[in-house]
Structure 1
Amino acid sequence: MAGTHSISEFYHGRSIFITGATGFMGKALVEKLLRSCPGIKNVYILIRPKRGKDVSQRLEELLASKLFEKLKRQDPDFSKKVIPVTGDILHENLGVSQKDEERVINDVSVVFHSAATVKFDEEMKLAVEMNVVGVNRMIQFCKKIKNLEVLLHVSTAYCNCNVKYIDEKVYEPPLAPHKLLDACEWMDGDVLNTLTPKMIGNRPNTYTYTKAIAEYLLYQNKEELPVVIFRPSIVGASWNEPVPGWVDNYNGPTGLLAAIGNGLLRVMKGDFYGTSDIIPVDIASNMMIAVAWDNVVYKSDELKVYHCTTGQMNKFTWGQMERMSHECFMKNPVNTVARIPNPRFTKSYVWHEVCVLFDHVLPAYLMDMMMWVSGKRPIFVKIQDKLRKAVGSLDYFTQNEWVFSNKNLDDLLNKMTPEDRKTFNFNVKSIHWPTYMESYCLGIKRFVLREELSELSKARQTLKRLQRINFAVNVFLFIAVWRLLINRVAVARTLWNFLLGWAIRIFKRMPKVAKSS
């Protein structure tokens, strides 16, 4: 039976088509396919020109990433297998040329579609265009591929976050896909923005709303296409491959951790004991590769959905993130630390707002005043405004938790050989969270903030200086407040005199140290 073939053997001689390859998950997927499936024939990646750079320049930048250094040592000529396809999911027929289209539809048998907007607060019109219309265009394009064996669509575990127990199935959408597509054709952006709160209903944002509708669009085409849906939870830095802690953007938990490391984010809304369902990007890419293999080798008449989550198999809480991130950044501080890292999650709205005022807003104004006095441009108030908006988009996910079914994940692991389970490891029970968090925080220093680890000793000295300043300021404030109370309140004055007298008596009774001759 074909099922006896290893995953690497399955991809031998096959050509793959990937959208979203320049994104975080897409890069990890491309690298893993080329490194662990060396017999792969071609990897076609859809790339659009951007910011004055043509497709060849963007491909060169992609492959120059530190993510590919291990692969370069293993196969210096790996880039010959990576073929750029100029196009954009925002255009009809993906905007590809006739020549590129012919190559893809004649050569490709496996498609990974991960292109999407991942901004939670994206305007409805663009969110629909990217996440629904783009999927529809992808469906129509894939119907032309002559030997297509599987189309893997990357969704999100939170597309049905309006329910607490989420099964591995496609749910009824909040609105029929064709109705949404029709509405977006004649409504302008302002009208859609006005209607957005009513449209998304009990979902938190346009991202989860459009992702749910896109899934149903795929479900409607399951008879004509070999579709499978992959739902990762909150994707974070790599666990092991190809380097621990690799991350290249500020999305999701990375932005939170970077702000915690800088000392700019000290209080967040969230359930201390709630599940922080983070999935390392290499675990997700390993599982995507295995899922595609599974749905070709073990064909199913049903459209299968796979959850890639950690909460029910290896729970990690926001409270653990709070403590571990603090420990990591105190041990390995960032060079640009502005205040001592001190993150806190709270479910209390009142306490959160009080802490934001005294721990975020007032210090930002104070630091900007110091910047202005020293002749520098004030920046901290603007940073706090942006930070509060970014963190606010995550409030819904840090204050709630869900139960995700993982039956298909378990079944997939059981079908794999011991060697494949090692090469394409996505067993989340193997994650040791303290080790992962330390790698994650160091990865933010290295790959996002672009700081050299050789500068750690200097960063530690800066942090120690901040600790001394913080201690001195606290002592000054305590004495100032206490003196104010002494002058105003008789009881406080009496207590102060008692403590002072007691301290003097203790000091006088201490034995004197003999002078050495």
Structure 2
Amino acid sequence: MESSREKSIVEFFKAKTILVTGSTGFLAKIFVEKLLRVQADVERVFLLIRAADAASAMQRLEDEILGKELFNALKEKHGDGFQSFARSKLWPVAGDIVHENLGIQDSNLVNELFKEVQIIVNVAATTNFYERYDVSLNINVLGAKHVLQFAKQCVKLEMFLHVSTAYVSGTERSGLIPEKRLSMGETLRSGSNSCYLDIEAEIDLVEKKKVELQADHNLTPIAQKLAMKELGMQRARFFGWPNTYVFTKAMGEMVLGHSRGNLPLVIVRPSIITSILRDPLPGWIEGIRTTDIFMMAYADRKLQSFPGDPQMTVDLIPGDMVVNAMMATTVAHSKQQSEFIYHVGSSTRNPITYDSLLQCWFDYFSVYPRTGKDGTPLKITRKMNPSIRTTFLIMVYKFLLQVLGLIHFITCGFIFGRLYDDLNRKYKYLKLLIDLFEPYTFFKGRFDDANLEKLRAMMGKEEMFEMDSKHIEWNSYLHGIHIPGILKYE
């Protein structure tokens, strides 16, 4: 039976017109499916889709959203009427947040959106830790700015909800990290090393770098791309963030907070998003994310050790809980002309340690091993070792590569050529993993979710909009839902 609070959330979305960006992404799909499942009387949901034209946008809607297994429960509910129901509610819009007016070419449609949209849910982002700096700035910073500018012209707007990441706080802090807004120009460097983050200067820097790279005819396109990726990492670490993704998401938050005026703004900061816990399809996920990269490398016997503190908390949160929080916070702060920050994670209420996660992987794959290319089981005989010895292994790899490289050069590639290439691949792979993820495996912080706790207390006991990580039984979820989901949908 629905609680009164659940009913109020469901009722809130009745007859609402909503614009969703990043709609072909993992989280946005869960949001759209949930919305249609709990409130069939939503007026319209405009889905911004990167496409050349309306026909291409419609094709992507059919293939990349409605064609997913995630929507099977809705299809069963509506039967033969599903297509007509979906077409009456979901309106694909060809566009891209990297452009003003979201890249929408049809001026009549733009004016219609300005007149009708009441809620904007901005999920569009590049989540690649090692993205090109220009791409990440365009999507995560300028994209957020363009969506905000668009929102300001929507005369009926009740809420602008922006999905960020809890790790805008960086990975150097320890203890309880508050749900605090980021001020324009704020950096994570402190003391005599503190500096001002000039976002416009960063954009200018990228443009100059692009011109410089394009003018160097000795650089291949791949080398230019790598240089732009390295620039992003360098700038992120200069200002105190571990990678380009969280750095640009932090800048996006700064732009929104600084420029929103009196627009109602909720920023939801999930931690590490994992597969669906409960509804509509436990275990459903798209792509291999963060910790799952380690898991799959371990299961394939490509990685047996990784640096980290086994007692540190790994902050995981299922995607459906994030979406429930998105919907609840939208309702709670509709028309409130202020900025609200919500952490959505598990490290405070229901932490799981790095060591416990590795134990779960061992327990699962020692019973259900992966299969190699030749069809033989890839037997797992020991738990991955979270140790600083992995750093030593990197040094050993590097030394061996130098020795083999010298022999390879002297003999013109006739001796140890294949061994050198194999070792070089392993070295680059392991080094990249460590560069990108080591900051997280030694992270000593916990994300305070006091704001979400207040909202949960207000809602009381609920099932339809479950967002309390305390109710996750980690072993059961990881063994019975998440790992099988990863293997099924990888």
2:36–2:42 contact (8 Å) kept in structure 1 = yes
Distance in 2, matches of 1:233 and 1:118, equals: 12
2:442 is the alignment partner of 1:431: no
Distance in 1, matches of 2:241 and 2:21, equals: 26
2:300–2:378 contact (8 Å) kept in structure 1 = yes
94, 106, 115: which is aligned to 2:124? 115
The alpha-carbon deviation at position 357 of structure 1 amounts to: 6.3
Instruction: State the partner residue of 1:6.
Output: 8
1:267–1:345 contact (8 Å) kept in structure 2 = yes
Local SS of the residue matching 2:63: helix
Q: Counterpart of 1:55 in structure 2: which amino acid? A: A
Distance in 2, matches of 1:282 and 1:123, equals: 29
Normalising by structure 1, what TM-score?
A: 0.76
Instruction: Give the alignment of 1:17-416 within 5 angstroms.
Output: 17-49=19-51, 54-62=56-64, 63-76=66-79, 77=82, 78-80=85-87, 81-97=89-105, 98-161=107-170, 162-164=172-174, 165-172=176-183, 173-174=186-187, 175-188=197-210, 193-194=230-231, 197-198=234-235, 200-296=238-334, 300-336=336-372, 338-340=378-380, 342-348=382-388, 350-354=389-393, 382=425, 385-386=428-429, 388-390=431-433, 392-416=435-459
Q: Counterpart of 2:470 in structure 1: which amino acid? A: K
Write the deviation string for residues 247-300 of structure 1: whole angstroms up to 9, x where unpaired. 11012122222222222222112211110001111111111111111111xx54
1:91–1:301 CA distance, 2 compared to 1 (3 A): closer
Q: Which has the larger radius of gyration?
A: 1
1:64–1:380 CA distance, 2 compared to 1 (3 A): farther
Local SS of the residue matching 1:305: strand
Instruction: Give the alignment of 1:475-514 within 5 angstroms.
Output: none
Instruction: State the partner residue of 2:488.
Output: 446
The alpha-carbon deviation at position 216 of structure 1 amounts to: 1.3
1:289–1:322 CA distance, 2 compared to 1 (3 A): same
The alpha-carbon deviation at position 178 of structure 1 amounts to: 3.8
1:112–1:134 CA distance, 2 compared to 1 (3 A): same
The alpha-carbon deviation at position 48 of structure 1 amounts to: 0.9
1:265–1:343 contact (8 Å) kept in structure 2 = no
Write the deviation string for residues 162-216 of structure 1: whole angstroms up to 9, x where unpaired. 5334211212323143443454455537687558525543211111211111111
The alpha-carbon deviation at position 235 of structure 1 amounts to: 0.7
2:232–2:243 contact (8 Å) kept in structure 1 = no
Distance in 1, matches of 2:256 and 2:383, equals: 41
Distance in 2, matches of 1:410 and 1:446, equals: 33
Write the deviation string for residues 342-383 of structure 1: whole angstroms up to 9, x where unpaired. 4424241x454339969xx99xx9xxxxxxxxxxxx989747
Q: Counterpart of 1:66 in structure 2: which amino acid? A: E
Residue ranges of structure 2 left out of the alignment (5+ in a row): 188-196, 214-227, 405-420
Distance in 2, matches of 1:120 and 1:59, equals: 27
Q: Counterpart of 1:132 in structure 2: which amino acid? A: V
Distance in 2, matches of 1:274 and 1:48, equals: 39
Q: Counterpart of 2:91 in structure 1: which amino acid? A: I
Write the deviation string for residues 78-111 of structure 1: whole angstroms up to 9, x where unpaired. 4221110100112222111223313322222111
Distance in 2, matches of 1:379 and 1:69, equals: 43
Q: Counterpart of 1:58 in structure 2: which amino acid? A: R
Name which of structure 1's ranges 56-65 and 253-262 shifts more when overlaid on structure 2.
Answer: 253-262
1:346–1:5 CA distance, 2 compared to 1 (3 A): closer
Distance in 2, matches of 1:14 and 1:302, equals: 21
The alpha-carbon deviation at position 41 of structure 1 amounts to: 1.7
Normalising by structure 2, what TM-score?
A: 0.80
Percent of residue pairs identical: 29
Q: Counterpart of 1:325 in structure 2: which amino acid? A: W
1:326–1:169 CA distance, 2 compared to 1 (3 A): same
State the superposition RMSD in angstroms: 2.9
2:21–2:123 contact (8 Å) kept in structure 1 = yes
2:130–2:233 contact (8 Å) kept in structure 1 = no
